[in-house]
A and B are shown apart, each in its own frame.
Chain A
Amino acid sequence: AQSVTQLGSHVSVSEGALVLLRCNYSSSVPPYLFWYVQYPNQGLQLLLKYTSAATLVKGINGFEAEFKKSETSFHLTKPSAHMSDAAEYFCAVSDQSGNTPLVFGKGTRLSVIA
């Protein structure tokens, strides 16, 4: 069984400040990990993914995440927040077979203050 825990349902940062959104996973098999962003009344857009290659993964819009097996974490970071980053962020896990659907965390709403 797989699960994802996102610490903090709401994170607020100032424009230009570091963004850190936390994600811890639980998986009995080697996982694939994903971060998605969702803007209001829209679907999900893939930010980045870990698929057992490099542990530091760079995504779109300046985001990156580091897979740490020892900590079972896959935290999302961005050095400098922009107003347009305000959205809901979801961490998700799947196995590497491609046969099982993604399991999502509960999401973290990011607010960016001018």
Chain B
Amino acid sequence: GAVVSQHPSWVICKSGTSVKIECRSLDFQATTMFWYRQFPKQSLMLMATSNEGSKATYEQGVEKDKFLINHASLTLSTLTVTSAHPEDSSFYICSARPSYEQYFGPGTRLTVT
């Protein structure tokens, strides 16, 4: 089946620094990838849709200048959390779709101290 990887699986950073999270589709090409955020004991909230070769589409309320998304190739999308603050601490999950079905990465736990 389709496999999506994320790196790193967890990261701790200091407030004010930036963190980059990578999402890769390992055995298929994905023109569209999605970035979700999940707070403890809550559901997944869509942050943005990442389109290869074009700008990402952000959901309402998501700061595009804070959460920078780059979809540079058909197998890689990156999410950079800029000037991270403790309230950005969360579980970030990406997904990619070869067709109608979305495949999810294992997630990245971000802790900002």
Contact = CB atoms under 8 A, between A and B. Distances in A.
Interface of A: 32, 34, 36, 41-46, 49, 51, 90, 94, 96-98, 101-107, 109
Q: Which one of A42, A45, A109 has the greatest number of beta carbons of chain B within 10 Å?
A: A42
A41 B107 contact: yes
B60 interface: no
Given A32-B100, A43-B93, A44-B93, A105 B106 contact: no
21 contacts: A32-B100, A41-B91, A42-B106, A42-B107, A43-B93, A43-B105, A43-B106, A44-B44, A45-B104, A46-B103, A49-B101, A90-B43, A94-B100, A96-B100, A98-B97, A98-B99, A102-B95, A105-B43, A106-B42, A106-B43, A107-B43
A101 B46 contact: yes
Contact of B104 (A44, A51, A103, A105): A44
A45 to B, nearest CB: 8
Given A44-B44, A107-B43, 7 more contacts: A41-B109, A43-B106, A44-B104, A49-B101, A101-B49, A103-B46, A104-B43
B56 to A, nearest CB: 12
Contact of A107 (B34, B42, B93, B97): B42
B102 interface: yes
A70 to B, nearest CB: 24
Q: 8 closest Cβ contacts across the A-B interface?
A: A98-B100, A43-B106, A44-B104, A43-B104, A106-B43, A43-B107, A104-B43, A101-B34
Contacts of A32: 100
A104 B100 contact: no
